[in-house]
Structure 1
Amino acid sequence: MPRIIIQNLENFTIDSENTDRKVIELIHENGIDWMHACGKKGRCTSCKMIILEGQENVSEETERETFFRQQNRLLPNERLTCQSRLLQGRLIIKVADINKFPHLKYSD
């Protein structure tokens, strides 16, 4: 069963049998507030996640992610949650410091 663990939100864990969902949809459906300034359209990088483990378990990079990577707005271990899908296995991520909300308590 695919699993997302958000490390700096006290290892909040999301299990999902549905691999046809974007990572941000799974996060929001489980009650976690995650930034997305452009409305989940892949037009900004505010929803980026830092992948600590499991990059091989995520869908292929999209055109939008490649565009931002070429502009040096995404590092090799970063993906957009609005563009990527967890296909299998485990994905351990964290919220980037620049995208943290002031009303949430982060564990790092």
Structure 2
Amino acid sequence: MPRIIIQNLENFSIDSDSTDRKVIELIHENGIDWMHACGKKGRCTTCKMIVVEGQNHLSVETERELFYRTQNRLKSNERLACQSNLLSDTLTIRVADANKFPHMTYSS
């Protein structure tokens, strides 16, 4: 069963009974506010997530992610939540500092 753990939201855990779903969809469906300024279309990097563990459980990088990577707007351990599908197993992520909401409380 695919699972997302958001480390700096007190290890909030999201279980999904389906595979091949966008990470941002799973996060939003579970009541977590996650930034996405372009409407989940891969036109910005505001939904960026830092992948702590489980990069190999995500779909291959999309054209948009590769574009931002060539511009140094995505590091090797970062993916766009709106472009990445969780395929299997556990994915541990963190909200990037630049993408934190002021109305939410984050853990270390």
Equivalent residues, number = 108
Q: Are positions 1:63 and 2:66 aligned together?
A: no
Matching residue of 1:28: 28
Segments of 4+ in structure 1 off by > 4 A? none
Alignment partner of 2:24: what SS?
helix
Percent identity, aligned pairs only? 76
Q: Superposed, which structure 2 residues align to 1:2-81 within 5 Å? A: 2-81=2-81
- Which residue of 2 is the match for residue 102 of structure 1? 102
Structure 1 length-normalised TM: 0.99
Per-residue displacement from partner, 1:65-105 (whole Å, max 9, x unpaired)?
00000000000000000000110010000000000000000
User: How many Å separate the matches in 2 of 1:15 and 1:70?
Assistant: 33
Which runs of 5 or more structure 1 residues have no equivalent in the other structure? none
SS in 1 for 2:42: coil
Q: Provide the C-alpha distance between the structure 1 equivalents of 2:68 and 2:12, rounded to a whole number of angstroms.
A: 28
- Return the alpha-carbon distance in structure 1 between the equivalents of residues 62 and 75 of structure 2: 14
Unaligned runs of 5+ in 2: none
- What value does the CA root-mean-square deviation take over the aligned residues? 0.5
Letter in 1 for 2:69: R
What's the offset of the Cα at 1:20? 2.9
- Contact 2:57–2:87 (8 Å) recurs in 1: yes
